[in-house]
Structure 1
């Protein structure tokens, strides 16, 4: 059986829909490029920037975001920034709208772990609300819909809370000396998105 320590060391969590949306963006791009080449030849590829932009945006918004579990903490890889949260920086874990890690410097939300909609909530089963870490439960053992283990936010929160609780109970975290998270912005990805947008505007303006 895999322990929470091993899971934390090896798990890269993405929403279940990320593969589908990314594949759809790539397929739309590939199909459109083939269509352009069939009608305009290789010269048509010079106007294919908007199509390549679709593939990039699909990858950037759906595949690139992730929640990465490691021995030293949790990393939230969002489209605009990556936030590294050491286990000792955690104060609380929330799932109201998405997985949210509360730290001494503020709360950080995971793009890759949204809370469920109506369908996801109704798909919950008894096994999805049992044997959760103690910090998952509110008064009278209540939980949020976003804590259900069958949801993106709930599964990610389960992994975070399990490892965090294990470290707290073992005394590996000094709660009186919390660590601090670190954030790095993805300026290169933003620049690529801006260039694609500019190329798209230029292409559309040239063709009008």
Structure 2
């Protein structure tokens, strides 16, 4: 008599991608879109002569560019691969093909001798310095038994304008914390020594952004060139 239960081991659950994007950039993009829609819509409705056509062409050019540089950039990181969505293209690469991730003045991914900018994780030197000061202060308080200076003045509460400490207890800026998590995912997949066996990046151009922006630029140039 066979059992009706399936005793075979089940596959581990698939985890959703971690998503990283600039909150400030996204919010600024929404505001810019609202402003462009208000000004452009007013020009289309109330304008006369060539004004409505110029406004429509300007919107056709501006809206895709605003979306491309503010709302579109994002990083999707799973346990197997990383997908970098930049303004005009998307780079998908398995972790086994990633050499390193670094952040000096901008965040970059290095793979196969090529460098890819990561627009969604901007580097803020000011936020990095502020996080370093908060981390040093938090460690000083912890080592001093709750007192931050040698004269025994109790330390005040730490105002956290940066993310909570990471897994190692270090306070980092938002971009540095994202970079630390991405590096952790990358280190789980060693890079193959044989370059021919390493996976290559897949690049897809964002024609849904490029095409309307190019059309808007052409229409705007034609209208401006034929104006009297």
Answer yes or no: same fold by TM over 0.5: yes
- In 1, the alpha carbon distance for the partners of 2:171 and 2:225 equals 48
* CA RMSD of superposed structures (Å): 3.1
For 1:158 and 1:10, the matched residues in 2 are separated by 16
User: Which of 99, 105, 118 is the equivalent residue of 1:91?
Assistant: 99
In the alignment, structure 1 segments of 5+ residues that lack a partner are 134-146
Q: Shift of the alpha carbon at 1:156? A: 2.7
TM-score by length of 2: 0.66
TM-score (ref. length: structure 1): 0.72
- State how far apart, in whole Å, the 2-side matches of 1:200 and 1:148 are: 48
Q: Paired residue for 1:49?
A: 57
Counterpart Cα distance in 1 of 2:114 and 2:164: 28
User: What are the ranges of 5 or more consecutive residues in structure 2 without an aligned counterpart?
Assistant: 1-13, 139-162
Deviation at 1:50, TM superposition (A): 0.5
**Which secondary structure state, in structure 2, belongs to the residue aligned with residue 111 of structure 1?**
coil
Q: After TM superposition, list the pairs within 5 Å mapping 1:155-170 onto structure 2.
A: 155-165=177-187, 167-168=188-189
Does the residue aligned with 1:100 lie in a helix, a strand or coil? strand
**Partner residue of 1:35 out of 38, 42, 61:** 42
Q: 1:185 to 1:39 in 2, by over 3 A?
A: closer
| Residue 213 of structure 2 corresponds to residue 205 of structure 1 | no
Aligned to 2:200: 180
Structure of higher CA gyration radius: 2
Q: Which residue of 2 aligns with 1:137?
A: none
Residue of structure 2 equivalent to 1:139: none
Name the counterpart of 2:3: none
Q: Deviations over 1:89-143 (max 9, x none)?
A: 12211111222122224222212212114x323321317797568xxxxxxxxxx
- Partners of 2:97 and 2:191 within 8 A in 1: no
* Conserved 8 A contact 2:110-2:116: yes
The 8 Å contact of residues 74 and 86 in structure 1, kept in 2 or not, is answered as yes
Distance change in 2, residues 1:79/1:190 (3 Å): same
Counterpart residue number, 1:65: 73
Q: Distance in 1 between matches of 2:19 and 2:80?
A: 14
Count, aligned residues: 182
2:209 and 2:94 map into 1 onto residues whose CA distance is 25
* Higher normalized helix content (fraction of residues): 1
**Contact kept in structure 1, 2:65 and 2:209, CA below 8 Å:** no
